[in-house]
A = this chain, B = another copy of it.
Amino acid sequence: MSKKNLIAGQSGGPTAVINSSLYGVVSEAYRHPDQIGTVYGMVNGIEGFLAGRYLDFAEALPGDALKDLTHTPGAYLGSCRCKLPESLDDPMYPAIFARFEELNIGWFFYIGGNDSMDTVSKLSRYAEKIGSDIRVIGEPKTIDNDLVLTDHTPGYGSAARYVAETVREVILDANVYETRSVTILEIMGRHAGWLTAAGALARKYKGDNPMLIYLPETDFDQDDFLARVSECLEKNCNVVVCVSEGIHDKNGTFICEYDSSVGTDNFGHKMLAGCGKYLENLVRSKLNVKARSVEFNVSQRCSASMMSEADQQEAIMAGVYGVNSALNGTTGKMVSFIRRTDEDGTVTMECGLEDVNEICNKEKPVPAEWITADGTDVTDEFVEYALPLIQGTVEIPMGDDGLPRFASRK
């Protein structure tokens, strides 16, 4: 096969390590100059690429500058939320492959979550249909950790570390005063509770805060919640509770929707204050106790300071593995992680390959057996699972201004 060029793209929501996966792909491509020519990046995913937007990594991040990707959150190439047409007869497919042809692309890497794997699925199937020998590989990415057929997903470890460390700090903050108080922490995760479950890692001993953890995998009962918060207040003056943004009652109504009776704002929009704010008000009014809520913000997916080194290194490893798999002829697969536990309990991750068609458009919830029977906590098995993923601190290079030096497109 004659020498071909490689192109990589990013898609879906940003994470702390999506650029580390990109670094893995690009740096490994450079190690195979006999087979891979120019290494391109799609700007704003497949959508930007269709509009003719791409860059050459050798020009955009020459020499050592490429390494800055490994500590830069966000999505260096820019992202998109674009679902390709279901029918492979749609004219969008030949349009995309004409672009590939123009740039003499032989390898295409797409870094993203389950929607992005749908793109990988469709493009690899279209390639097969038209007899193109382009190799299409999916690189996993999501803070939600909800991809099937992989132990976990790059991006989750850093987000989980952010949650665990921030919950531990908020507990310090909550313990400052003697006044009885309840602090509700609302954590990202509409359908899967992996990130909220990471709040359990903040505990230093059994029974420590956060005393209650609620995931969207179980039904939330407001009366039961109030009774349990009351019990907790008997044991601990300052009670901290973690809730997923997506908790709902047994009828499927999101708890945040209970605020809908508040009506509309000045502009005619429904006010959606979030389930944390709702539960704060519920606790204050029903239990007559000081209450506050904190909505963990986008820092969950873009904090550099709390990046997990394990997560960063695995993201790079997945990129490297993907390139070598493609060079060996693999296509239509997503790189996955397989956990190996030694006799002494040491956990190591190996990469594998899974059929992308079995991954796209599916979601992996926290398993029922990792949630306590009463639905108010996670089990030790979850803690054992998650701990290896949050280990290690990445040293972030600082600029002259004393703030992190991030990679950015000109």
Contacts and interface: CB of A to CB of B under 8 A. Distances in A.
Contacts of A284: 267, 269
Interface stretch (A24-32, A147-155, A298-306, A314-322): A298-306
- For this chain, the copies found in one complex come to 2
A242 to B, nearest CB: 14
Contacts of A281: 265-267, 269
Interface stretch (A88-96, A124-132, A168-176, A365-373): A168-176
B268 A74 contact: no
A259 B266 contact: yes
A263 interface: yes
Nearest to A389: B402
A295 interface: yes
Contacts of A73: 169, 172-173
A263 B262 contact: yes
A403 B168 contact: yes
Contacts of A273: 271, 273, 277
Given A73-B169, A403-B201, A78 B258 contact: no
A79 interface: yes
A310 to B, nearest CB: 9
Interface stretch (A33-41, A228-236, A246-254, A390-398): A390-398
Nearest to A301: B173
A172 B341 CA distance: 36
A407 to B, nearest CB: 10
A332 interface: no
Given A165-B404, A168-B404, A304-B169, A176 B78 contact: yes
Of A78, A258, A266, A398, most buried by chain B (CB within 10 Å of CB) is: A266
Interface in A65-82: 72-75, 78-81
Interface in A167-203: 168-170, 172-173, 175-178, 201-202
A57 interface: no
A295 B298 contact: no
A277 to B, nearest CB: 8
What 8 A-B pairs have minimum CB-CB distances, sorted nearest first? A74-B172, A267-B285, A305-B305, A391-B402, A294-B297, A173-B302, A169-B302, A79-B176
Interface of A: 13-14, 44, 47-48, 72-75, 78-81, 161, 164-166, 168-170, 172-173, 175-178, 201-202, 204, 258-259, 261-269, 271, 273, 277-278, 281-282, 284-286, 294-299, 301-306, 387, 390-393, 396, 398, 401-404, 406, 408
